[in-house]
Amino acid sequence: MELLIALVISLTIVVVTRYAVPRWKLKKIEQPVVIDERFCVIDIRDYISAHRSPYPGAENIPLSYLPRALKEHFDCPKDVLVISDDFRGARIAANIFRKKRKKNIYYVTAA
């Protein structure tokens, strides 16, 4: 019985840290274009989407390259604004950023 309780508690902790915490850290911005000095703007869409509809002032780092880019050269002391196709991609990026740094993460979905 104790094993079952420990398993349920462990599973609850994993689910909360994996799915709920990134949602709490992720805040949506409703403005269509945000050019502000308080954000590091990162476009996590693929190269083709970012090229066809560029976001002003954004650095394009596709989601698949984001962990490597954070290790190698990305260093920004400001809050992060993520440009994404959908909420799922923004949530994954928030999870990656949360592991590397403890800053606020905002997102905008690009049409």
Total number of domains constituting the chain: 1
What is d(CA 92, CA 19) in angstroms, rounded to the nearest whole number? 9
Which pLDDT band, with edges at 50, 70 and 90, does 34 fall under?
A: low
* Concatenated DSSP letters of 24-75: HHEEE---S----TTEEEEE-S-HHHHHHSPPTT-EE--GGGHHHHHHHT--
pLDDT tens-digit map of 37-84: 788 889 999 999 999 999 888 899 999 999 999 888 777 888 889 999
Contact 61, 103 (CB under 8 A): no
> To 10 degrees, the CA torsion angle through 111, 91, 21, 99?
-130
pLDDT at 21: 55
pLDDT at 29: 78
Q: 36: domain range?
A: 2-109
State pTM to two decimals.
0.73
pLDDT at 82: 92
Domain containing 50 — which CATH number? 3.40.250.10
